[in-house]
């Protein structure tokens, strides 16, 4: 026996009643580790291991009840139950086996191959070849749970032979027959599919059935083509019964410093007979030297209705842009070029500012002779219209061909002090110099310089009260602001829409852009209250308004900021530990007549969720809103059972007394299949867009390729 141990290179160790051995590999001469409850050597060439036997070799692990190793043939005779796991996580389960010592070649009886703990392939015999190929005889493949009471899986593939290539991670089926609930559906003499561990492989992706009232019933059949390790192309033919033919393309490529993605489509259909239709969208981003970032977006479409007809998006204004930015701790730099193209029926691109260029440099400072924190910002802006007219032919208050350029330099500063009684006093101010150059405008044409600023004192007095049940924070705030009342004659193009909310209640300037600036002596007054509960929920409320020395007619009535005193702003936010968030914001006058209101509710749970919002706003021609707005939008889901989820979404216009959009969806997901059914209806119409009903159906088999994550497994009843 000692002679056999020396010739075999075998090492035996006994540890706590468990024997460990080292088995030689005849080809590589690497040692394999063996662990068993009992190891016996018989004759001059056999080693017998019994009781919870495990072998470890080159990332492979084999578990069995009994193993007989013959050094003369360098083979393993194994008695199961057997579990063979390789370094990729692939399992082979069998009752008995005859394998080479390196576990790379041999035959396993009554075996199952399990890939990525999803796809199972069962066969009476499995052959291992060269450590790369696994060949199965008559095979049944499925990722569905099989129960004794119902042995037929939801879907399965039966084949006379299956070969798994571990290197390319592909499965090759001979005489493949696809069955649903045991019923044959179609037959293929040869079938190749990726195994579940492969994320990128050439081949067809999940098909999608789509029916619309305009295009009719159609099917999309995407084909994925991998171009090396860093690029791919997806080609999606789309054919409909209403003479619609389209080809969609998506190209993606990753570089060392960034990525690009190009999407496009070409179509001909009965909606616009004889016309070529399509769209183009290219996006990307790159990392440049010295912490700069480059991003771009190029977008175009042949006609206004294409994006909606083919379910691409609901955009009605296209924007192409090129931007270079850099963000550091106290510095921000950006240069951006933008081209806008409107596809709204009521808008003419020639009279819109289509070509826009912006440059921004912003730097923050702290300390210095005044202390506190200061900021310096330099910004340029230019926009151009295609029209050359100096008149306002469309009556929107803007010259049809107005071109504008602006350069601005702004300096701001603030410093706070805390008094002995807890009051926080802050001094703050800002100063801005603007230079405008305006052309093709009969009213505002020429060059204009403007200097404006504001100085303010802010008082905050936070009160804190802690009780056994909760803590309360009450904070009265008052800002006294001075700024000049006079104004230069300048057009206002970037500050027409003004929001009044708790975010800008205590701002020196509530105009969102640079063309308009808030003027006059005024006071921003408000109080906030927040309650923090130890059980994890909180509620906060804010009430405030703006009081002016005199009304300078700067704001429209819908903003809530017009008049010598603004409307009241009231905002409440509730955050529950369960994930529920409710936000309510109201703007109303002294007679409690509401100017605008907004309610938002968000909740996301494992079983159900909803995101809903309601907005109401009065009419205001200065904001291009001749009619009031009253609209409700919601989007929610509810898990009807462990595998079924219902979805609903919609938008309702109360002023028009009709829905603008509605949608229903139903999703079924278990361990082996994902079915997504959707139905939506768009009710709005215009010259180029008609009301449309859209029906979609997609089915995905889990466990084939790197697709959607599998859902919960079905439970087998006893």
**Which of residues 576, 594, 627 is at a domain's end?**
627
- Residue 424 in any domain: the answer is no
Q: Which two tokens stand for residue 510?
A: 């509530």
Query: What's residue 6's pLDDT?
Result: 37
pTM confidence score: 0.82
* 279 burial level (CB within 10 Å; 0-12, 13-18, 19+): buried
Query: What's residue 27's pLDDT?
Result: 45
Model confidence over 354-412: pLDDT tens digits?
A: 999 999 999 999 987 888 999 999 999 999 999 999 888 877 778 999 999 999 999 99
Q: Which two tokens stand for residue 74?
A: 């360098």
d(C-alpha 213, C-alpha 692), whole Å = 6
- Residue 583 in any domain: the answer is yes
d(C-alpha 216, C-alpha 196), whole Å = 35
- Residue 272 in any domain: the answer is no
Say whether both 157 and 30 belong to one domain. no
Cβ contacts of 86 within 8 Å, gap of 6 or more: 59, 60, 166
- Domains: count for the chain: 3
Say whether both 28 and 95 belong to one domain. yes
Name the 3-class secondary structure at 297. Answer: strand
d(C-alpha 202, C-alpha 275), whole Å = 33
Model confidence over 28-87: pLDDT tens digits?
A: 446 678 888 888 888 777 888 898 888 887 778 889 999 998 888 888 899 879 898 877
Say whether both 100 and 11 belong to one domain. yes
Among candidates 204, 214, 278, which has minimal Cα distance to 240?
Answer: 214
- Residue 268 in any domain: the answer is no
d(C-alpha 429, C-alpha 166), whole Å = 68
Say whether both 78 and 125 belong to one domain. no
d(C-alpha 4, C-alpha 361), whole Å = 81
d(C-alpha 3, C-alpha 230), whole Å = 56
Query: What's residue 502's pLDDT?
Result: 92
**Which of residues 76, 104, 132 is at a domain's end?**
104
**Which of residues 602, 627, 652 is at a domain's end?**
627
Query: What's residue 148's pLDDT?
Result: 66
Say whether both 76 and 131 belong to one domain. no
Q: Are 38 and 66 in contact (CB under 8 A)?
A: no
Q: Are 212 and 695 in contact (CB under 8 A)?
A: yes
Cβ contacts of 359 within 8 Å, gap of 6 or more: 334, 335, 336, 379, 380, 381
Say whether both 51 and 5 belong to one domain. yes
- Residue 85 in any domain: the answer is yes
Q: Which residues of the chain have pLDDT under 70?
A: 1-31, 148-150, 686-687, 705-718
Q: Are 218 and 211 in contact (CB under 8 A)?
A: yes
Q: What is the CATH number of the domain that holds 1?
A: 2.60.450
Among candidates 407, 411, 434, which has minimal Cα distance to 488?
Answer: 434
Query: What's residue 705's pLDDT?
Result: 63
Query: 3-state SS of 40-76?
Result: EEECCCEEEEEEEEEEEECCEEEEEEEEEEECCCCEE
Among candidates 17, 5, 112, which has minimal Cα distance to 69?
Answer: 5
- Residue 87 in any domain: the answer is yes
- Residue 308 in any domain: the answer is no
Say whether both 7 and 136 belong to one domain. no
Query: What's residue 596's pLDDT?
Result: 95
Query: What's residue 17's pLDDT?
Result: 41
Q: What is the CATH number of the domain that holds 155?
A: 2.60.450.10
Name the 3-class secondary structure at 209. Answer: strand
Q: Are 134 and 93 in contact (CB under 8 A)?
A: no
Say whether both 479 and 617 belong to one domain. yes
Say whether both 470 and 610 belong to one domain. yes
- Residue 320 in any domain: the answer is no
The β-bridge partners of 481 are 456, 522
Among candidates 492, 428, 495, which has minimal Cα distance to 460?
Answer: 428
Say whether both 618 and 542 belong to one domain. yes
Query: What's residue 530's pLDDT?
Result: 95
Q: Give the structural domain span for 188.
A: 119-198
Say whether both 477 and 619 belong to one domain. yes
Say whether both 488 and 540 belong to one domain. yes
The rounded Cα 533 to chain-centroid distance in angstroms is 33
Q: What is the CA radius of gyration of the chain?
A: 36
């Amino acid at each position: 026996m000692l002679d056999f141990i020396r010739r075999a290179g075998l090492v035996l160790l006994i540890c706590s009643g468990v024997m460990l051995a080292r088995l030689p590999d005849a080809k590589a001469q690497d040692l394999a580790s063996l662990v068993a409850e009992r190891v016996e050597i018989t004759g001059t060439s056999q080693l017998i291991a019994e009781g919870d036997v495990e072998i470890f070799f080159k990332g492979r692990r084999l578990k069995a009840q009994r193993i007989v190793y013959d050094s003369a043939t360098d083979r393993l005779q194994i008695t199961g139950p057997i579990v063979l796991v390789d370094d990729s996580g692939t399992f082979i389960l069998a009752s008995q086996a005859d394998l080479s010592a390196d576990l790379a070649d041999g035959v396993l009886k009554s075996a199952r191959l399990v890939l990525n703990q999803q796809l199972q392939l069962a066969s009476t015999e499995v052959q291992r070849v060269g450590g790369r190929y696994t060949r199965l005889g008559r095979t049944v493949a499925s990722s569905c749970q099989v129960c004794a009471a119902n042995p037929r899986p939801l879907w399965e593939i039966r084949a006379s032979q299956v070969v798994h290539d571990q290197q390319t991670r592909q499965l090759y089926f001979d005489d493949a027959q696809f069955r649903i609930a045991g019923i044959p559906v179609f037959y293929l003499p040869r079938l190749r599919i990726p195994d579940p561990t492969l994320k990128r492989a050439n081949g067809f992706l999940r098909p999608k059935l789509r029916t619309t009232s305009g295009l009719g019933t159609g099917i999309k059949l995407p084909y994925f083509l991998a171009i090396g390790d860093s690029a791919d192309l997806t080609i999606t033919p789309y054919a409909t019964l209403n003479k619609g033919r389209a080809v969609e393309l998506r190209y993606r490529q990753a570089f060392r410093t960034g990525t690009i993605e190009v999407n496009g489509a070409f179509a001909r259909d009965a909606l616009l007979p004889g016309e070529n239709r399509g769209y183009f969208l290219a996006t990307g981003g790159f990392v440049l030297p010295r912490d700069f970032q480059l991003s771009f977006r190029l977008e175009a479409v042949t006609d206004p209705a294409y994006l909606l007809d083919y379910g691409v998006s609901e955009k009605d204004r296209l924007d192409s842009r090129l931007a270079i930015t850099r963000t550091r701790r106290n510095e921000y730099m950006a240069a951006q070029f933008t081209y806008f193209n409107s596809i709204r029926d009521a808008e003419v691109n020639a009279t819109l500012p289509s070509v826009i260029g912006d440059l921004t440099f912003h730097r923050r400072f702290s300390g210095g002779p005044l202390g506190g924190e200061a900021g310096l910002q330099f910004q340029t802006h230019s926009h151009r219209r295609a029209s050359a007219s100096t008149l306002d032919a469309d009556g929107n208050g803007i010259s049809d061909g107005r071109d504008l350029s602006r350069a601005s330099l702004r300096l701001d500063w603030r410093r706070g002090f805390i008094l002995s009684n807890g009051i926080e006093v802050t001094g703050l101010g800002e100063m801005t110099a603007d230079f405008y150059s305006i052309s093709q405008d009969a009213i505002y044409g020429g060059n204009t310089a403007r200097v404006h600023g504001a100085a303010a004192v802010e008082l905050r007095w936070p009160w804190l009260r802690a009780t056994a049940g909760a803590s309360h924070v009450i904070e009265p705030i008052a800002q006294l602001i001075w700024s000049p009342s006079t104004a230069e004659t300048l057009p206002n193009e970037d500050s027409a829409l003004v929001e009044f909310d708790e975010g800008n209640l205590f701002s020196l300037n509530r105009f969102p852009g640079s063309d308009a600036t808030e003027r006059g002596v005024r006071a921003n007054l408000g109080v906030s209250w927040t309650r923090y509960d130890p059980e994890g929920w909180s509620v906060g409320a804010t009430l405030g308004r703006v009081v002016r020395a005199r009304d300078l007619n700067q704001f429209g009535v819908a903003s809530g900021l017009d008049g010598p005193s603004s409307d009241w702003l009231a905002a409440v936010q509730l955050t529950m530990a369960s994930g529920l968030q409710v936000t309510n914001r109201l703007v109303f006058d002294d007679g409690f007549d509401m100017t605008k209101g907004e309610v938002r509710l968000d909740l996301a749970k494992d079983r159900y969720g909803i995101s809903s919002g309601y907005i109401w706003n009065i009419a205001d021609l200065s904001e291009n809103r001749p009619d009031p707005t009253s609209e409700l939008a919601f989007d929610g889901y509810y898990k009807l059972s462990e595998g079924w989820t219902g979805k609903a979404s919609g938008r309702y216009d109360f002023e028009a007394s009709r829905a603008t959009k509605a949608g229903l969806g139903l999703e079924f997901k278990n361990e082996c299949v994902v079915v997504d059914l959707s139905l939506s209806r768009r009710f709005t119409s215009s010259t180029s867009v008609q009301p449309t009903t859209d029906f979609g159906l997609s089915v995905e088999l889990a466990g084939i390729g790197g697709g959607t994550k599998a859902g919960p497994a079905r439970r087998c009843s006893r």
